[in-house]
Structure 1
Amino acid sequence: MTGRHDPSFNGDARSFEVIRPERQTLPLVFNSPHSGRVYSAAFLAETRLDAHEIRRSEDLYVDELFAMAPAFGAPLQRAFFPRAFLDVNREPFELDPRMFAGALPSHVNMTSMRVVGGLGTIPRIVAENMPIYDRPIDAAIGLARIEEIYRPYHQSLKQLLQETKRRFGRAVLIDCHSMPGSVTVGGHRRRPDIVIGDRFCTSASSDLAYAAISILERMGFVTAYNKPYAGGFITEHYGRPASDCHALQIEVSRRLYADEQSYAKKPEFIALKQALTLFIQEFAAFLADDEGSSGLAAE
């Protein structure tokens, strides 16, 4: 690693932020890694896509949908950089060597299914299989994205979870995403409103996923569990149920709140945000009851 700076993201701008409550009262941490929508002029000049096409991979406004989490006593970390620029829901070095000019480290994972599909740590495509670049990226500049943005992002998320675990004796990460409105599941090809994922019961205690699904279904949402989205690197990496560190992924259908062609919010956006605020409140109440029954309490 040469330490060369990547000018494609504004060097004087924050790449992410943590919105903390006045006092954390819940063992919850919310994370929105794919809703970043700061597209620098340098990055737009680097990509072969226009300013509209490059947004195809965005988890539209997910950070806003869960913006009330700090008001209930849980921190929210959100990215400003776009997923098309860098995907922190991948291993740090899931890289396609064909994308780069120059040598990559020997420890690069170049054979994962995500890399093969063009969706590595530095993506090759946006949704609908649209190539992002028309020429190779300087390897040193690509690696700088990992050092300057990816590593600090994960260090911050790790710290939030460690702080939460120390305070409450447990930590529950809610990794927040959106999915295309065309997604269907099951033999009847029903369209879920929300998918809850826990890496097939490996990243969180099953009672947490069941509680989330139960709350959402009582609210009238059509839900699915682990299919077609069980969770990505973040859910897998931070979910350690045996250590009482849990990670759930939540995917919200974009058809509920946005026009997927224009990216404009629908009038239903406000009602959905209110509903997800109620979900946070009820899930927090479930955790409080669960902690009480297990003898855990906040400091």
Structure 2
Amino acid sequence: MDCSAGDFEHFEVREPATQTIPFVFNSPHSGRRYPASFLAESNLDSMAIRRSADHYVDELFADAPELGAPLLLAHFPRAYLDVNREPYELDPRMFDGPLPSYTNIGSMRVAGGLGTIPRIVAENMEIYRKRLPVEEALLRIESIYKPYHACLRRLIAGTHARFGTCVLIDCHSMPGNIRLAGSDIRPDFIIGDRYGTSASAELSRAALHFFEEMGFSAVRNKPYAGGFITEHYGRPVRGLHALQIEINRSLYVDEQTLIKRPEFDAIAAALSLFMRQMADFVAEFSASDDSALAAE
């Protein structure tokens, strides 16, 4: 399941000595390597441009290989390229020259400034000083986006071939001020399964239960039901399940300074326990039911 060593400038797979559980963990938005040319093109300072990142999420899930599962993580930042989008969700207003005819210019994510090449970071902060050459966008997609997804597909396919099932956990963080609509509830975790289409209900309920058992507030699908990765790779009827996990950033990082809070290690330990519990649940559920984790 190795990915090309040449890709490791942009992303990395941390693999166990032997994969023992049918899980793949993915952290696509925690990259911290900002190309100098990108920073030179930006309106934003080195702190502001990080506002949309999933800060340290790769570190929070760092125990995955020790538990027996691969962890794929991005080194490139989300502000530079967002692999949790279709490959060509591009805003024509951002570029000099015509975009290819197959570009999706009408998605809601493009309209919101959060396409494959984002126009903004959080709080509607414009990234670029001027339009980019179309060739720059296409180069990022060809040289980083496509190899990243090829690697993720290999990890999923290899896991599925080995175990007969695969559970992809797509790891993200969310701003601390996110509330449930019509309430003052600020969830600690949100489990996204595309409203039951990307993973079995049993998996989603188990994930909610494990977080709640640890004393956290956890909800399902609102306001985050999962992005392109969850939707694209989740095929429960084939034994391919994808869950998105959103972690409230205020639990573990100061959102103004982006410095880790003293609680960081405790949150990492809770996620390590969560991963272990999910693996045990899948093993027990599969052993007790030959049709385990099939779509309802």
Q: TM-score range by the shorter chain?
A: over 0.9
2:58 is equivalent to residue 40 of structure 1: no
Asked if the contact 1:169/1:296 (under 8 Å) is kept, the reply is no
Asked if the contact 2:11/2:75 (under 8 Å) is kept, the reply is yes
Partner amino acid for 1:16? F
SS in structure 1 at match of 2:102: coil
**Hey, what does 1:63 align to over in structure 2?**
58
**Hey, what does 1:259 align to over in structure 2?**
254
Displacement after TM superposition at 1:42 (Å): 1.3
2:250 is equivalent to residue 250 of structure 1: no
Runs of 5+ consecutive residues of structure 2 not aligned to the other structure = 1-5
Displacement after TM superposition at 1:41 (Å): 1.4
Determine the C-alpha separation between the residues in 1 that align with 2:182 and 2:256.
28
**Hey, what does 1:110 align to over in structure 2?**
105
Pick from 129, 132, 136 the counterpart of residue 137 of structure 1: 132
Q: What do residues 41-74 of structure 1 show as CA deviations (whole Å, max 9, x unaligned)? A: 1111111111111001100000000000110100
TM-score normalized by the length of structure 2: 0.95
Q: Percent identity?
A: 61
SS in structure 2 at match of 1:128: helix
Determine the C-alpha separation between the residues in 1 that align with 2:94 and 2:163.
44
**Hey, what does 2:177 align to over in structure 1?**
182
RMSD, matched Cα: 1.4
Determine the C-alpha separation between the residues in 2 that align with 1:153 and 1:232.
16
Asked if the contact 1:239/1:246 (under 8 Å) is kept, the reply is yes
2:18 is equivalent to residue 23 of structure 1: yes
Determine the C-alpha separation between the residues in 2 that align with 1:223 and 1:201.
16
Pick from 77, 81, 102 the counterpart of residue 82 of structure 1: 77
Partner amino acid for 2:263? E
**Hey, what does 1:199 align to over in structure 2?**
194
**Hey, what does 2:162 align to over in structure 1?**
167
Deviation larger for 188-197 or 229-238: 188-197
Determine the C-alpha separation between the residues in 2 that align with 1:148 and 1:266.
35
Asked if the contact 2:7/2:147 (under 8 Å) is kept, the reply is no
2:265 is equivalent to residue 270 of structure 1: yes
Determine the C-alpha separation between the residues in 1 that align with 2:50 and 2:182.
31
Asked if the contact 1:168/1:296 (under 8 Å) is kept, the reply is no
**Hey, what does 2:121 align to over in structure 1?**
126
TM-score normalized by the length of structure 1: 0.94
Alpha carbons of 1:119 and 1:186: their partners in 2 closer, same or farther (altered >3 Å)? closer
* Number of residue-to-residue matches in the alignment: 287
